[in-house]
Structure formats: structure tokens, C-alpha cells
Amino acid sequence: MARDRVRVAVLGASGYSGIEAVRLLTAHPFVEISALTSEHYAGREVADVYRHLAGSDLPPYEELRPDFLRGRAEIVISCLPEKTCAPILVELVKNGARVIDLSADFRLKDPAVHRATYAAEQAAPALSRQAVYGLSEFHRSELREARLVANPGCYPTGALLALIPLIKRDLIDPSSIVIDAKSGTTGARRTASIEYLFAEVNENFRAYKVGTHRHTPEIEQEVSAVLGREVALMFVPHLLPITRGILTSIFMKPRAGTTEEDVRNAFEAAFAKARFVRLLKPGELPELRNVRATNFCEISAVLDRRSHTLVVITAIDNLGKGASGQAVQNLNLMLGFDEAAGLLSAAPVP
Amino acid sequence: MARDRVRVAVLGASGYSGIEAVRLLTAHPFVEISALTSEHYAGREVADVYRHLAGSDLPPYEELRPDFLRGRAEIVISCLPEKTCAPILVELVKNGARVIDLSADFRLKDPAVHRATYAAEQAAPALSRQAVYGLSEFHRSELREARLVANPGCYPTGALLALIPLIKRDLIDPSSIVIDAKSGTTGARRTASIEYLFAEVNENFRAYKVGTHRHTPEIEQEVSAVLGREVALMFVPHLLPITRGILTSIFMKPRAGTTEEDVRNAFEAAFAKARFVRLLKPGELPELRNVRATNFCEISAVLDRRSHTLVVITAIDNLGKGASGQAVQNLNLMLGFDEAAGLLSAAPVP
Amino acid sequence: MARDRVRVAVLGASGYSGIEAVRLLTAHPFVEISALTSEHYAGREVADVYRHLAGSDLPPYEELRPDFLRGRAEIVISCLPEKTCAPILVELVKNGARVIDLSADFRLKDPAVHRATYAAEQAAPALSRQAVYGLSEFHRSELREARLVANPGCYPTGALLALIPLIKRDLIDPSSIVIDAKSGTTGARRTASIEYLFAEVNENFRAYKVGTHRHTPEIEQEVSAVLGREVALMFVPHLLPITRGILTSIFMKPRAGTTEEDVRNAFEAAFAKARFVRLLKPGELPELRNVRATNFCEISAVLDRRSHTLVVITAIDNLGKGASGQAVQNLNLMLGFDEAAGLLSAAPVP
Amino acid sequence: MARDRVRVAVLGASGYSGIEAVRLLTAHPFVEISALTSEHYAGREVADVYRHLAGSDLPPYEELRPDFLRGRAEIVISCLPEKTCAPILVELVKNGARVIDLSADFRLKDPAVHRATYAAEQAAPALSRQAVYGLSEFHRSELREARLVANPGCYPTGALLALIPLIKRDLIDPSSIVIDAKSGTTGARRTASIEYLFAEVNENFRAYKVGTHRHTPEIEQEVSAVLGREVALMFVPHLLPITRGILTSIFMKPRAGTTEEDVRNAFEAAFAKARFVRLLKPGELPELRNVRATNFCEISAVLDRRSHTLVVITAIDNLGKGASGQAVQNLNLMLGFDEAAGLLSAAPVP
């Protein structure tokens, strides 16, 4: 592997988002994977655990220790769970690494909201304030210089791509927002559990954490930041019997006078340069299969005059644009690469 | 089979709702299946087509002809598609049979709405006006005398069980209703198609007919009837990669002052005598698997004060309470049987 | 509930086979569920854990203690895991209860084979010798008097129903037997694991324990008993991405001269009085959906002259005929009830 | 797109194998897709039908007419169904195009076997004799010069990769071969049907065409060609409720004296230079998910001394190595490209 590739370490590289980051990076033309950690598989070759990556030139899994990196990577993608990783990431940033964190540890700006949401203090409030919220399409310039990127949650990504363009142009009543999202099971971590056993999820469907999911304050923070004032919204996640993908239907009351054209213009303007947002034609509706295993987002809007309701629907892969795909997109932006480098493979359909 | 059982004919008895009606009736203590029709399988034994019913004493499939019944059944369950069946059902009713029609032909009272929705004139406007809308829990007394029952659509059943109790007590703003429903694939007919092939549905999820689904006017008609004035609402159906079940999330703005207790009281009052509606405890949420292959409906409500939003979630089996289960429940009410006769088997979980 | 019903206790009544036994028994006309144990849910009402059983009159889950039963049940169905339950079951039998054990603890007659297979000594070798192997169709008379029934494993049930009739008539070469079986995920226990997470099983398929599965000696023991000498056979199980069901394809070399008619005659004779074995017509092939949530077994045979190979295929529900359904069938036989009491509900198809 | 890329036409480019060929070719570094045909979608842009390919520079679908190509492509991949395509392909070959045919029209060498299997005469017996059977690993040198490649069937590919190395070294008794294969639903064409509706396949599993599947003579032909004499074998396909993938378990009696090392050596020798065959380590077993959406084949062997049986298991994607992936591999070999060009993306797992 060429010595002038940028060296990337992936922490927590054996979970669902971790191994997806590895898969994406093995196909990336400008990076080299220089270190991989896994608590569970430390000491083992990746291809012994994940045969689909056999043939790639990968370092073995190692344990995550405070000083494990020692300058072996310019950039670190952390797929570690909430709370456990913050102190190590703080240390890594101090030592000069640039970090993309897929956990929620640095996403919330307000320490009180963080505390209320995650039942824990922020690990490094100052760093949380500096961290760039990595919703790539809306933070390109900040990402270029970012030391620490708080990669967005999967549900917030699917919701905010729809909401921000509308809020920016004041096309909807922010107090009317209802988000009904449906996620595949890889939204939950790859840990032993009864709840996510095949026989519990298969041929089943249910809502969970109605109005209380931890991604709610994250969505509200970003909407409020654009709006310029606090907003509270309703968010209901559901568990789909599929492996990957989040389809999000967002319902809103349009401002008086808002037209379909206004909505279309808002999205066209917001995503004119977006490589991964597919604004669908009128009559087309997002499907999860079209974005599976990719960093793409499909989006479409319907304004129903009868009920005076606007619905916007988005489809993403929760492990792609909702996690590791967006992390690689952010890496590209941070390093000045082509934003789409390594990310343009088409979804396998069917 | 005892001669004093009530004789029932099932028309269109080889489709998904038809064969489910047959399955339910074979376990019914007070009825006898006296005739079965199937365009596709006429002349064949049921057990040659559907081996899961081998061992039941069933008549062979026969063709549906205008005079085919000749007094062989006191009651007819029609699982025929829209439009094709209306003239025959009109004839059957004239000749004295009591009919439960699972199609949409007699559901809409207003001929203009019917025309706009189904692109066809009502077959018998007078009969449409007399037909009882068979949402069992709210029409028990009319069902007792009904000659023709318009069995509700699957989506309307899931939505109306949530909406009617709230509308009755004026607990919500009717102009704010948003219905986000997710259905298994047996909501579509058992006919050759590409759209519903396994490889098109599996690992996929999508909305369809956003704001334009034919069940919208049906839901609006019944809500409006209770409310006493016209209402327009937003209804978005989605296609789940599962065989059976509809989970419906209904979002509404509560009236100022509406409390969780008000909502709970409304449902408790509405369903005090309901054998098939499971009002869940606070904290419990409906799951499709708990109602699969049954006539039960799970229902729960969450009032989110932060966003001033009420969400009610219902789970039914689209072939059970959403079609054939409710048809049998209506048959029981029409004939003065125990409302739950033949319908109390527990869902197979998992 | 009528006082003259036979009282049944179910041990381990919150796992997959346990809750299926409870579901079946709630619909049984001649028994009363008098005690239920669950390590995990002790102290809780069943309907709080499994809402699909809400409405049934069930005792709460309690802890399993050595003396917990104190004469509260005439018959005990144990769905506890291997090894943990043997001492308690021995005690229960001593105290006069009749026991149906779904674990493998009492299935193998030879202590050496048991030790080699389960890496443990038999808990009570004398009792193991007396235990009746509960493959109902072939042990009816012994079951009538049995104190302890070793309920067969799910894979052995699917294989032996095909093999025994052929071995009895010496129609095949026993040294040629190959069993290729495919099971849904409820064949594994309901315990927290990564291996059986939805995302690990879904859209995947694989063989496991090729030639080394613990059910191999069980199948060989029963075939050998009929044959009158030791046989070794090849058994390869696979994991299907479905919840319930085992389809087993068994390949054999027919004896010279064996005809299709011989094979058919063998099965017809073996299953002439079998209420749950559906011997299919020529041209028909077993399907898992036809037996789902039931105690039925579909079976068919094809003799391929070109390759001189006989294949017999069986379909059962691993939780039905492969576990709890057969346990209830055995209970019926033990108590002199109609063999099919409580077991005749048709599979919900689709 | 660079003018020096080789121009490729795909016929029948809207079915499952057709659109997979298009997906693979869009990522191929040395080819340009110059023409696409689709009976159903002629006149439409590919991205209007298949949004996952939006962003690729593709010609619109056109109708397949006898002279439609007119030198617009050096190489043609035909994904058309059996029988309909043969005359056109004959014409194309005559006019100088090189053709890779995914149908069965040119696979069988013996006209009598073809007739018995496909109930039709060979379209061009002379061409059938010249056609190279495109099992890439065993026909590399012939492929280099081939005018017409008969791309192998999906089942034969999964079986022959296991069988040929063993037959070559005479390690097994050919009269003992039993092939038990399990395929996802995209093995069937993308046409309207009831049999492959989601609700018919989901939560179901069944064998079909036991001993009579059309791929049997194809497997026998290739095994016989290596063996030097006729062989008849038993082949039983099953339908898996998954979208892609074939897992094949092949059972055989080893020759007296055959050791595990012999078997391993045979596979190592056969696949020493094979880029797409993953010979697994002892203890590892193939899984469909590891090959999904790829051209890889996982393979492993277990020799069971107890039952004197050898089982070899292979996993392929029926649309990948079983169809379009192998077609692209063959294209690479025909054109002298790196055999793996465009084919090295890792499977998305999970």
C-alpha cells in the first residue's frame, strides 16, 4: 500500500458501524487502515472474524489502550459506544489526531441537555463546544478544519436532511413537526441480547421509546440552531424486521402560502451540490433498497392540500449515511479529498 | 356436521382474506361452511390447494354464477374484489341471504365520494345507504339486524379504533390528524404481480400513495359521522416486509386541557365491553406479533407534553381484525352468537 | 376452570418451547395449567411478559425450587435446558408426578454415548433406561404407562418419522443415510447471544456442526433399535432465516428391487392411524408454512431411478411436533385422552 | 467516458441478472455500456426504473430488434430467457460480436439431452458444440478465444466448483453424489407470478423439482466430461426466503483410502490461482452473507469417518458467481483483462 496514503485508525472496529467503516475504507483510494481495535477480538485477524473482508490488507484487531496509537494514524474513526470512549478521544485529540466520533458523546452542545439525555456529565465540555456536528451537507467548511467531528446519529441524519432546508426558508410551522421513523436492527449495537434475537424481530413491528428517544434532543438542537429559537418536536422510532435502513416520514403544517414549488426550490437549493442526496422527481417515493450499503439519501416531499399537511420522506442506510458512510464523507471533507471518494458504489438491488 | 349449524358461503375463498375466513370458520362451533367459490380453482378440493386445511370437512371450490347459491347458505362472506362482486351481492341480498362484503363497494355512503374514489358508480346506491359499516365495536346493535354489512378496510379499522373514542369526547383537534400506517403484504390481493414479488419487498420498506390512498375517504367518512362535520386528514401507508399485520401510529394535537387520564378514560369507556381490543398499560406498546392470526387489536396512547402531541398506536392483523376476523365477529353479532365464538385462539408467538 | 381437569405444570415456561406449551395447553379441553416456572420472570404474571396470552387464566411465574410442586400437578412438562433439570425431574418422578422432559437428559440409553455427547454423566441411569422415548407415532402403548417421557429432539423427530418406516421394512441400505436438515432459529434457546441476532441470521444461510451435532447419536440410537444393529449416519443441520420450522431431506440408497409402491406402502402402514402425519400425494412436496404453529408433519418420498436414490422430505414445526406439540400429544396418550385433543388448529397460511 | 474502453451491450437488462450485470459493469474500469435492451421498459432511462443506478452514465433501454446492435458493441451479455434469444444470439455471433449467454440455450452439448430437458431443439447445434462452458476457473484458456460463452447455471456453478476437483483426482465414488441446494428467490425470473409473491415465500421453505430440475443434466454433463464416462446424480433444489444466494451441500462416498488431506490438496491445487474461490480453513463453514452481491465462492469440506461420508459445502450469490458476476469474470478473461477487474468489492455484511 502506497506510503503517501493517509493513515486511519478505526476504534471499535468489530461492531456493525465499525466493520462497515472498515469495509468502506478498504475501497477508499486515498487512505490506509493503520490500526483497528476490538475489545472482543483483540489479537485476531479481521478476516478470521469477518470473512467478507478476506483479501484486504488489514492490521489485526488490537486492544484499545490509552497510548495505543502512538502516532500511527492521522485520523481516527471511533465506533465505540457512548461514555466509554470520551476520555480516550479527548486524549487522542490532545495528541494531535483528528477524530470522527460516531457516539453521542460530543453531539449535544448544552451540558444540561447532555446530562438529562445521557445521565452523565460531558467528558470535556470545552471540546463538546468545539466539536463540529458532522451532518456533511450543512457543515462542509467547518469540517475542513475540524479536530473533532461529532458524527450525527442515524435518526437525526434522516430527519435533519428533510427539516433544515424547510426551516431555513421558513416554509413550515416548527411547532407542528412529527417524525415517524422506522429503522432496521443494526441501529442497535452488536451485543448479546434477547430483544434483538431473530425470532423476536422477525415478522414483528413495533414502536419504541415514543417521545423519549435520545435522538430527540439532538434533532431539536440542530433545528433550533437554524431556527434561532428553541423547538420541541415529536419523534417516534419503530423497529423494522430488516438489517439496514431508516425510512423517516416527517409531517408538518406548511406556513400559509407555502407551495409545492417553494418546497422543491428549498431542497434544490440546499442540495444543489450534494453528491449523496437524491431529490426524487414528483411521484417518486424513497425506498430503503435503493440506498442500502451506500451513503446516499433519497428524499421526496408531498404537500397535501386537503389536509393542509406537508410530508417529507427520506431513506438512508443507518450504517451508511446514518453512520460510517457519513464518517467517511466527513473524513474526505476534513482531508480535502473528493467528497465522494470511496463512496460511489451502487446499492445491490435487489 | 350438525344440521342446526348456520350455513355460510364464502365467495372468493382462495385469496388471502378468503382462505383466512375459511380457516376461521372451520374452527367455529356454530357454523357450517356450505359453499366456497374460487374463479381460479373451481372444481378442485380446498385441501389440494391449501394443505393446511386438510382434514377439515369442506365443499369443493365452485364457480361463482348468478344463481349458484340457491338457498344453500343463510349468510355469505364475500372476499371478492371491488366492482366485480356488487351485482351478485345485490342479487343475493334480494333473495334473502345476509351478506358480509369485504370489498369497498358498499362502504362509502356518498355516491360522489365513491365515484371520485373508485372511478365507478355505486352498484346500488339504496343498498349502500342501508349497509351497516361493520366496525364491530361501534355498530353492535345495527349489526344484529343487518342484511348487508360493509366490512371495513384494513387501514380504516386500525385508524378508527383509535380515533373514534377521542373524537367522541372531543379530546383532539380533528384538523391535526396524521395517520402513519405500516402494512404487511397480504394487504394486497393474491394476484400475479412484480411489485409484490419476494425480492422486491424483502429487505425493503417504502411509503406509497401518500395522501391519495383509497382508504382515506373511508376513514374521513367515519370520523366525520362521529364529529358531525367534514374532516380531512393525512394518511400515509407503508409496505412492511412481513406477511401479516398493520401497525398504525396516529398523531394529533390534543385540545387544550386534555390529560392522559382523559385519553385513558375515553378508551376504557369505548372498549369496556370489547372482547378484542387490548388497551395496554402505560409503558406498553403494541406489537404486530401479539395479534398475528387473531382478531385482536392492541392499542396504547402517549401524550407528549413537550411537543404537545398525542400519539395513539394500534396493532391489528390485516387479515384478522382488518378483514376476515372482523367478518366472523360481525357474523357472530348478526346471528346473536357469542361475539367471540371461534375467534379466541392466541397468536402463535414467536 | 373445571376441577376435574388434569393439573399440569410447565417448567421453564418462558422460553420458546415453554411458552408454546403454555399456548397449546390454554386451548386444551381437559387440562388446567396449575403451575408455571421461569427463572427470569419469577413473580410476574405471564400476560405481562407475553401479551398474546392475555385473557387466559394462568398462574404467575414462580421460581423452580426442589419442593415447589407439592402435589399441585399430576403431570409436568419440563422445558428446562439440559443438565440443570435432571435432578429436579428425578425428584418429581420419585414423588409420583409423571414427567415429560423436553431436554436431552433422558433420551440416550447408553451412558457412554450420553457422556460422549453431552460431556456429563447421566443424572439417573436407571431412570434413563425406563424413560419412554416420546416419538408418539411409534411408542403409543408404552406412553400410556410412562412415568418419564424423554420428548424427542426436533431434528430427530423430523428424521425418524421418515426413517423408521423404511428401516422396518428393510427398504433401504442403512449405511447410505444422509440427513440434510434446515431449521428456523427457535431451535436455539431464547437466551442473549450475538449469533442469533436478527442482523446475523437475516438474509443469511449456513450449515453448522457438520457431522457433529448432538442429535446425531439420538437419531442413530432409534434407527439402530429398529434395525437391530448399530448404524452410523451423516447429519448436517442448517440455520434458516425463519422463526419456526424444520425441513429435512433424507437421502438413501434403496435396496435392490425397492419400488415406489413399497415406499408408499411402508408409510401408509406406519401412519394409517397417525392423526398428525400428512402423507402427501405423489407430486406434492412438504412446505414449512403448512405445519407452522401446529403438531402436523408433512412427508413425501421420491425414488429417483436415474441416480438410484430415494429422498424422503419431512416438514414439521420445531416448536410443534418437534417439541411442545409432541409433548402435548404425549400427554394426551399418557392420560388416555383423544390423542389430538387441543392440537387440531390449522396453521395460519399465509 | 474514455473512447478506448471496450463497448458492451446487455440484453434483457431489466431482469434480476440483467440489472446486476449493469451494476457490475458501471464499476468496471475498462468497459463502457453502449446499449441496453428491455422488452418491458424500452424507451425509458435506466435510472427511472432502477434509481440505485442514478448517477451512472447509461444509455436508455431500447427494444431488441434483429439488427439493433449494428456494431455498437464488441461484446454482448445476454440475460434473455431460454429459447427467445437463441436466434438473435446466433445472428450476433455471425456478425462478429462475442457473446456471453446467461440462458441455458447453448450449455448442453448433446442435442438429445437438450431436447429432453428443454422440450425444444437446439437453435444452432454447431454453435452449441463450439460454445465454451463458462465455468471460469476450469476454462480459462478456451475463454480467451471464445466467440460464444454459455454462462453456467447458478446451481451448476455451486455444485461443479465442489465436484470437479474431486472427480479429477478420483477421490469419490461418482455414483454416490447427492446435491442438496438452497437458493434465494432471484434464481427465478423477475416476472409476475403468484408462486414468488412475498407472502408465499416468506416464513416458508420447501424443496421443488426433486430429481427433475433442468440443471441436473448440465451438472452431469460437466462431471461426466471430467470423469470420462456418464454419471447420473441426485439433485434437489430448495427455495430460501432470502433474495440472493445459493448454499449447496454435496454428499459423496469417498474412495477407500481418501483422506481429508487428499481432499484439501485437491481443492488447493484446483483453486491455487482462483481469485474468487475462498477455500475455508478447517472448522469454518460457508455463509451466504459473505458472498452476497459478489463474485466470490466460499467452499469447505468435511470428511465424516463415522458415516464414511464426504460433504462439501459451497456458497455463492446466484446473481454473482451464479450469473452476472461470472459473466463479467468471463468477459475479463475473453478480453485479456485482469480476471478480477470490477469484481473485488466486499460483500456488505451484515
| Domains of chain C by start residue, with CATH | 6-130 (3.40.50.720), 154-318 (3.30.360.10)
CA-based nearest distance A203→chain B, Å: 5
Instruction: Give C79-98 pLDDT, tens digit per residue.
Output: 999 888 888 999 999 999 99
Contacts of C56 in chain B (CB under 8 A): 346
Query: For residues B226 and B221, what is the distance between their CA atoms, to the nearest angstrom?
Result: 9
Grid coordinates representing D204?
416458508
Q: What is the pLDDT of residue D83?
A: 85
DSSP labels, C143-183: HHH-SEEEPPPHHHHHHHHHHHHHHHTT-B-GGG-EEEEEE
pLDDT at A74: 96
Chain C residues with CB under 8 Å of B186 CB are 350
Q: Which of A16, A194, A196 sits opposite C190 (nearest CB)?
A: A194
Give pLDDT tens digits for C147-169. 999 999 999 999 999 999 999 99
The whole-number pLDDT of residue D271 equals 98
Contact B243 D202 (CB under 8 A): yes
Residues of chain B with pLDDT under 50: 1-2
Query: Prior bond to B350 cis, omega within 30?
Result: yes
Enumerate the residues of chain D whose CB falls inside 8 A of the CB of residue B241: 198, 202
- Across the interface, whether the CB atoms of A311 and B182 are under 8 A apart is answered no
DSSP string, C280-305: PPTT---BGGGTTTSS-EEEEEEEET
Name every chain A residue with its beta carbon within 8 A of the beta carbon of B263: none
**Residue % of chain D over a pLDDT of 70:** 99
d(C-alpha B335, C-alpha B171), whole Å: 35
Query: CB contacts < 8 Å between B and C, how many?
Result: 76
pLDDT-derived band at D68 (thresholds 50, 70, 90) equals confident
Q: Which chains neighbour B (Cβ–Cβ under 8 Å, 3 or more pairs)?
A: A, C, D
Neighbouring C-beta atoms of residue C256, cutoff 10 Å: 7
CB contact under 8 A, C244 and B350: yes
pLDDT at C233 over 80: yes
Residue pair C52/B347 in contact (Cβ under 8 Å)? The answer is: yes
Sheet holding C75-78, edge to edge: C61-62, C31-37, C6-11, C75-78, C98-101, C148-150, C132-133
- Residues B108-133: b if buried by 16+ CB within 10 A, e if exposed: bbeeeebeebbeeebbbeebbeebbb
Residue D2 has pLDDT above 70, yes or no: no
Confidence (pLDDT) at A3: 53
Give the gap in angstroms from C-alpha D235 to the nearest C-alpha of chain A.
27
ipTM field: 0.96
- pLDDT exceeds 80 at position A2: no
Do C7 and C72 contact (CB within 8 A), yes or no? yes
pLDDT in tens, C278-300: 999 999 999 999 999 999 999 99
Determine whether the interchain pair D307/C232 forms a contact, defined as Cβ–Cβ distance below 8 Å.
Answer: yes
| pLDDT, tens only, D295-339 | 999 999 999 999 999 999 999 999 999 999 999 999 999 999 999
pLDDT beyond 60 at D1 = no
Instruction: Please answer yes or no on whether A345 and D27 come within 8 Å at the CB atom.
Output: yes
Q: A66 or B349: whose pLDDT is higher? A: B349
Q: How far apart are CA C8 and CA C26, in angstroms?
A: 11
Report the pLDDT value the prediction gives residue C45, as an integer from 0 to 100.
98
Do B199 and A350 count as a contact with CB atoms less than 8 A apart?
yes
Q: How far is B61 from chain A (nearest CA, A)?
A: 31
CB nearest to B208's CB, from A180, A233, A285: A285
pLDDT of C309 above 90: yes
Q: Which three cell numbers, joined as nine digits, stand for D254?
A: 469417498
| DSSP conformation class of A298 | E
Is A297 noted as a catalytic residue in this protein? no
Beta carbons within 10 angstroms of residue D321's beta carbon: 31
Given a contact cutoff of 8 angstroms between Cβ atoms, the answer to whether C158 and C322 are in contact is: yes
Q: Look at C307 and D177 and tell me if their CB atoms are within 8 Å.
A: yes
Give partners of D (≥3 CB pairs < 8 A): A, B, C
Confidence category of residue C3, pLDDT binned at 50, 70, 90? low
Residue D3 confidence (pLDDT): 53
> In the prediction, which pLDDT does C4 show?
85
pLDDT at A281: 97
Cα dist. A183→A155, B112, B132, B280 in Å? 8, 40, 39, 23
Please list every residue in chain D whose beta carbon sits closer than 8 Å to the beta carbon of residue A16.
Answer: 350
Chains that touch A (3 or more CB pairs under 8 A): B, C, D
What is the chain A residue with the closest CA to D345?
A27
Residue D16 has pLDDT above 50, yes or no: yes
Closest chain A residue to B231, measured at CA: A307
pLDDT for position D202: 98
Contact D307/C177, CB-based, under 8 Å? yes
pLDDT reading at C343 higher than 60: yes
pLDDT tens digit string along D161-207? Answer: 999 999 999 999 999 999 999 999 999 999 999 999 999 999 999 99
pLDDT, tens digit, 9 for 90 and up, residues A120-150: 999 899 999 999 999 999 999 999 999 999 9
Contacts with C347 from chain B: Cβ below 8 Å: 52
Q: Which residue of C has its CA nearest to B286?
A: C51
> Is A350–D244 a contact, with Cβ atoms under 8 angstroms apart?
yes
At residue C68 the predicted structure's pLDDT band, cuts being 50, 70 and 90, is confident
Which residues of B are known to be catalytic? 154
Residue C178: strand pairing partners: C234, C251
Pairing of strands C75-78, C6-11: parallel
**How many other C-beta atoms lie within 10 A of the C-beta of residue A284?**
14
Model pLDDT for residues A288-347, shown as the tens digit of each residue: 999 999 999 999 999 999 999 999 999 999 999 999 999 999 999 999 999 999 999 999
Cell of C320: 410443534
Rounded to 5 degrees, φ, ψ at B319 are -90, -15
